[in-house]
Amino acid sequence: MNGESGADKVVAVLPGAYLSSVNFAEIISRLCDWGKSVSEGISDVEGLGVEVVPLDYDLAAAVGELRPLTRSLGLSLGDRACLALGRKLGLPILTADRAWAGLSGFDITLIR
């Protein structure tokens, strides 16, 4: 949405991709920072063709479980939500954060 380096790799896989509700909240927050209304932000995200996955009990526990593994890397709650969802679904996780590449047990794809 911000035209950052590597965006083309993300855009190519967006239709049918999954997004945790935590990461959805982060996106809406950023869009609101940029002056968009919540409804405009929701419309923008819906237009991407992604499925927002609720942070349920089991996924929340998985996010918490990742804290010790990722603490030294400085990963946020949103970062861990993304990782936990990717692992749960058995799908590649796209990121620009090189620190994630060293995590074992995840299918990490660096976009730049």
Q: Write the DSSP assignment of 63-96 as a string of letters.
A: HHHTHHHHGGGT--HHHHHHHHHHHHHT--EEES
7 found inside a domain: no
Helix (H), strand (E) at residue 50: none
CATH number reported for the structural domain that contains residue 58 in this entry: 3.40.50.1010
Q: How many domains does the chain have?
A: 1
96 found inside a domain: yes
3 found inside a domain: no
63 found inside a domain: yes
Which residues is 53 bridged to in the sheet?
20
Q: Name the nearest CA neighbour of 100 among 89, 87, 54.
A: 87
Residue 29 confidence (pLDDT):
97
Residue 21 confidence (pLDDT):
98
Token pair in block for residue 8 = 């083309």
Cα–Cα distance between 106 and 83 in angstroms, integer? 7
Residue 1 confidence (pLDDT):
61
62 found inside a domain: yes
> Can you tell me whether residue 11 is helix, strand or coil?
helix
20 found inside a domain: yes
6 found inside a domain: no
> For 34-60, how does the pLDDT look when each residue is reduced to its tens digit (9 = 90+)?
999 999 999 999 999 999 999 999 999
- Positions of the chain with pLDDT under 50: none
Q: Whole domain around residue 31: which residue ranges? A: 12-110
Cα–Cα distance between 86 and 45 in angstroms, integer? 19
4 found inside a domain: no
